Homo-oligomer: A and B are copies of this chain.
Amino acid sequence: MNAPDKFAPLLTLTREPFPASTKVFVPGTQAGVQVPMREIALTNGERVTVYDTSGPYTDPTVSIDVRKGLAPVRAAWIEARGDTEAYSGRERQALDDGVKHEVPDAHAAERIAALRGEAAALQRTPRRAKGGIGAGANVTQMHYARQGIVTPEMEYIAIRENGKRDWMREYLGDPEREARLRGNPMGARIPEIITPEFVREEVARGRAIIPANINHPELEPMIIGRNFGVKINANIGNSAVTSSIEEEVEKLVWSIRWGGDTVMDLSTGKNIHTTRDWIVRNSPVPIGTVPIYQALEKVGGVAEDLSWEIFRDTLIEQAEQGIDYFTIHAGVRLPFIHLTTKRRTGIVSRGGSILAKWCITHHKENFLYTHFEEICEIMKAYDVSFSLGDGLRPGSGADANDEAQFAELRTLGELTQIAWKHDVQTMIEGPGHVPMHLIQANMDEQLKHCHEAPFYTLGPLTIDIAPGYDHIASAIGAAMIGWMGTAMLCYVTPKEHLGLPDRDDVKQGIIAYKIAAHAADIAKGHPGARARDDAMSKARFEFRWRDQFALGLDPDTAEAYHDETLPKDSSKEAHFCSMCGPKFCSMKITQDVRDYAEQKGLAETEALQQGMAEKSAQFKAAGGEFYVPLDTLKKG
């Protein structure tokens, strides 16, 4: 490799638009509200518009330099509210990137220095609520919502959730079909059209959150709540054992390409701070973290050396960088830890186990619990949302729904009330490993104790014996709990329990979870969710292969699979496919049946139906004789 290229091509971003797709924007009434969507142009002239998480990366008209970061679409809105101030910010420390790790060689040192330089160039001047932490303004979307203010973020979200409805008229509205397919919302109340005011109400009520740190102006706002589309989260992260910063940023782009609504940066190794700068500045989706991971790095990995001071400093560090939600394991209380000792798999949450060790060692209550109101003060100065972590979640079906899990859940409900007192947006993390028949109880307990704060579950995995396929074992549970009311599903990849996900594993996990979330939306009766399926089914029936690929969650794989058994181009328009061949094609035969009816002078479907109905009636009236004379039908 030549020297000039050594650092330049650090990232190879995936930027091709999806097949037949263009980025379109729907404007709002407030300044700067331009909501991006993906429009798919079908070969029959129809245009299908779908929710788009991929940000500017799939827009070829946008020039992106990851060393400069994305355009700050929210900056003017934040500025216009007049309740924040730029400030010098916390001083960057060597410890933030893990000083205990020696740089392995000169080349790596050179590279890391270069990365840090570029990261520093990316760093925006941080903002905070005027007056600072503890004494200043409250800049959360919940605070605005409770004052009756419809922010540009809320209007943006209303437009985004509705999508374009005009193209759906072809597919929705048939009275018989609508009645037959009517969703079962399981307690959700999703209006036909989402208004900005509805978004405001839901946020004010605490039933939905808009994770949107004021230091993440690059964000395209989105919402998490049971009365909106079910969202999914993808985890990325480096590791002490493998991975690199370059891979992590491409993983972000890759994750949102396939449908990640939020991304959690779970990095634990070297260069955590630097990695995070790169990710946030280049992310159009909310970024979540588990701050205790970095705090633990700062104390050399010794859990008992953690302190509130180090943790607080880490929260501020990350809040200034623009992290949108923090997983905080404040429910791992000292009196609950003994409840885990008889478990099959003890404590499986990393954060939960770190805090359990701290509590036991010091025989003190969890400092996240004791300092919870102080954490709220930080959250509201930057609008970081809580994701109250389930540190005592079950790590096996055997431990599902036990007292340790539910004791913590009830505590998270108490903490939710405290957070809401501060107008801090809050969601609740959930399991984990739960057999199908115990999933409903999880949702019921969460709704009851956490007052409808959005539930954000990991899976749950329905069985334990599928290593290598836990994205499937958990997609089953995720679809069910999504239907029952979970607002966001944290993905599981095929590598779960086995190793770190690579690029393809991340994609596999995301697609499995898009399936689960979409299945949930359809079951709930989310307005418009079904239309894309209908467009697919119509394309299927009409053998419009290219449209089937374009309408699918993963056009590349669908096309590649199709091309494996039929030659590439001749079959794209073929009115049959390789599953059955031309002779056995049921769709072709169905069409033949219709064509045959037309030849017989029954051109109108209505006429055919009427004829058939008459015939059926005659058939029954005649006592079920099997032969019906041909001319009976002809008369119809």
Binding site for B on A (CB under 8 A): 171, 177, 180-181, 183-184, 239-242, 268-269, 293, 296, 301, 303, 334-335, 337-342, 344-350, 352-354, 356-357, 360-361, 363-365, 369-370, 395-402, 435-438, 462-469, 471-473, 475-476, 479-480, 483, 494-495, 497-500, 502, 511-512, 514-516, 518-520, 522-525, 530, 532-534, 536-538, 540-541, 548-549, 551-554, 557-558, 560-562, 564-566, 577-587, 589-594, 596-597, 605, 608-609, 611-613, 615-616, 619-620, 626-630, 632-633
Contacts and interface: CB of A to CB of B under 8 A. Distances in A.
A586 B353 contact: yes
B589 A354 contact: yes
B578 A500 contact: yes
Contact of A615 (B335, B469, B613, B630): B335
Given A353-B593, A463-B522, A397 B241 contact: no
7 smallest CB-CB distances across A and B, nearest first, come from: A338-B612, A396-B537, A346-B590, A335-B616, A499-B565, A365-B626, A468-B557
A415 B166 CA distance: 46
Most B-side CB within 10 Å, residue of A582, A584, A615: A584
B499 A463 contact: no
B397 A522 contact: yes
Contact of A338 (B303, B585, B613, B620): B613
Contact of A627 (B364, B398, B585): B364
B469 A553 contact: yes
B345 A463 contact: no
Contacts of A473: 515, 519
Contacts of A536: 396, 464-465, 467
Contact of A398 (B462, B524, B534): B534
A283 to B, nearest CB: 23
B479 A436 contact: yes
Given A469-B511, A479-B462, A586-B347, A534 B396 contact: yes
Contacts of A338: 608-609, 611-613, 615-616
Contacts of A438: 181
A71 B323 CA distance: 66
A181 B472 contact: no
Contacts of A361: 596
Contact of A334 (B344, B538, B619): B619
Nearest to A354: B589
Nearest to A588: B353
A181 B397 contact: yes
Nearest to A586: B353
A511 B466 contact: yes
B467 A628 contact: no
B398 A495 contact: no
Given A468-B554, A500-B565, 7 more contacts: A239-B579, A335-B615, A345-B540, A345-B587, A396-B534, A396-B536, A468-B560
Contacts of A363: 627-630, 632-633
B584 A519 contact: no
Nearest to A364: B627
A561 B493 CA distance: 11
A541 B344 contact: yes
A468 B558 contact: yes
Contacts of A554: 466-469
B472 A520 contact: no
A59 B34 CA distance: 65
Contacts of A397: 181, 522, 530, 533-534, 537
A260 to B, nearest CB: 16
Given A334-B619, A464-B537, A552-B467, A180 B581 contact: no
Contacts of A468: 552-554, 557-558, 560-561
Contact of A523 (B269, B354, B435, B541): B435
A525 B438 CA distance: 11
A581 B268 contact: yes
A578 B239 contact: yes
A533 B398 contact: yes
Nearest to A366: B626
A339 B303 CA distance: 67
A633 B565 CA distance: 68
A13 B360 CA distance: 56
A540 B497 contact: yes
Nearest to A370: B626
A448 B401 CA distance: 33
Given A436-B523, A479-B462, A356 B590 contact: yes
Contact of A590 (B181, B340, B402, B476): B340
Given A364-B626, A537-B396, A537-B464, A472 B268 contact: no
Nearest to A352: B586
A578 B242 contact: yes
A335 B370 contact: no
Nearest to A483: B436
B365 A627 contact: yes
20 contacts: A171-B398, A177-B398, A180-B402, A181-B401, A240-B583, A338-B611, A339-B612, A344-B541, A347-B590, A349-B586, A360-B596, A365-B627, A396-B537, A436-B523, A464-B537, A466-B511, A466-B552, A476-B479, A476-B519, A499-B561
Contact of A534 (B344, B354, B586): B344
A177 B562 CA distance: 47
A630 B334 CA distance: 12
